[in-house]
Amino acid sequence: MLDYVLNGLMQRYQERVPDVAGIIAAMINRNLIQVPEDIENDHIAFRTMGVPQLGIQSLEKIFLHYGYTKRDPYHFKEKKLDAWWYAPPAPQYPRIFISELRVKDLSEEAQRIIISYTDEVKADPVSKLDLDDGPAVDTFLHSALWRTPTLEDYQTLAAESEYAAWVIYNRYYLNHFTISLQNLPEGYNTVAAFNQFLEKEGFTLNNSGGKIKESPDGLLLQSSTVAKMIPATFAGNATHSIAGSYVEFAERRVLPQFAHLPAGELKREHRREGFEAGNADRIFESTYSSQTGKS
Ligand code: OOG
Ligand code: NI
């Protein structure tokens, strides 16, 4: 079931984000992997609106049902976001990062706009789903929860919260998947080295706070591409380019207590786990106009 749902998410994501196929092709060309399935997916991420019937408490039910464990919370005061990460039921599955907008902390106008859409969802839609029905869950994750927004609402929201604007249009589309770097061949197995490779191949990296986001313990390093602008159709057939999704890269270093282990014996549990609020805060901006307007 979990495999079915994850495959469906990845398939739609690849179709929508040209950088995914581009990066995979570049990695195969450079002999870093033989087939796309060789990529280790560190985590996937979703965004949602923090309203009573939706938000983290709703979306997480799907993954808790598939055996994920809820782990640590993160808070982003400036961006008005909260997030949690979820550990997978087995090491071959990606971690999950789910964030939600603290709708109540926005201006009255922004709240009014958001609620006019989210109120179309009367009750927690996940409670009504048969979570053992893979196709039903896949369809749910890829269908509109509310009417297509107007361009005006989208722009009003974007002026106050780019995250809000992203979610009002994109809903539960996968926000990113994350290529694990530490097990790639020497010369490509760090964020620093992989960033160089990506830039030589012509990909644009998020440079908010620097291209390498590093946790204070020095053990979790991340980087990401900047989301490409994609044409979007709004209510009344208005069209406008908006930020799509992006690709992330993560290097998890070995914990000090396992530093003596030979490289061949290193497993996921020997490396830095979880996420880092300071890194995440900057990675969110991969879909913000400060980054997408750069190129
Ligand atoms: C999530 C940003 C944070 C991470 O790995 O810390 C993140 C988002 O853009 O929705 O992905
Ligand atoms: Ni991420």
Low-confidence ranges of the chain (pLDDT < 50): none
Mean pLDDT score of the chain, rounded to an integer?
Answer: 97
Top mutation candidate among 161, 181, 283 for ligand 1, by most atoms within 8 Å of CB: 283
Residues 6+ apart with CB under 8 A from 209: 281, 282
- Ligand 2 centroid to residue 236 C-alpha, Å: 34
Residue 234 identity (one-letter amino acid): F
Q: What's the CA gap between 295 and 292, in Å, rounded?
A: 7
| CA 273 from centre of chain | 17
d(CA 221, CA 191): 6
Specify whether the CB–CB gap between 248 and 276 falls below 8 A. Answer: no
CA 213 to ligand 1: nearest atom? 6
Q: Which ligand is located closest to the Cα atom of residue 215?
A: 1
Contact present, 249 and 222 (Cβ < 8 Å): yes
The CATH number of the domain holding residue 210 is: 3.10.180.50
99 lines ligand 1 (CB under 6 A): yes
Q: What is the pLDDT of residues 52-89, one digit of tens each?
A: 999 999 999 999 999 999 999 999 999 999 999 999 99
Instruction: Decide: 282 and 206 in contact? Cβ < 8 Å.
Output: yes
Whole-number Cα distances in Å, 210 to 192, 217, 223, 283: 11, 17, 9, 11
Work out which ligand 1 atom sits closest to the CA atom of 275.
Answer: 6
Ligand of minimum distance to the alpha carbon of 221: 1
What confidence tens digit (pLDDT) does each residue in 249-266 have?
A: 999 999 999 999 998 899
Identify the residue whose C-alpha is closest to ligand 1 atom 6.
Answer: 280
pLDDT in tens, 25-54: 999 999 999 999 999 999 999 999 999 999
pLDDT at res. 295: 52
Q: How far is the CA of 42 from the centre of ligand 1 (A)?
A: 12
Give the domain extent around 71: 2-292
- Total structural domains in the chain? 1
Q: Are 41 and 111 in contact (CB under 8 A)?
A: no
Q: Assess: ipTM above 0.95.
A: yes
Q: How far is the CA of 282 from the centre of ligand 1 (A)?
A: 8
Give the residue ranges of DSSP H helices in 161-267.
162-170, 191-200
Q: Are strands 95-101 and 81-87 parallel, antiparallel or unpaired?
A: antiparallel
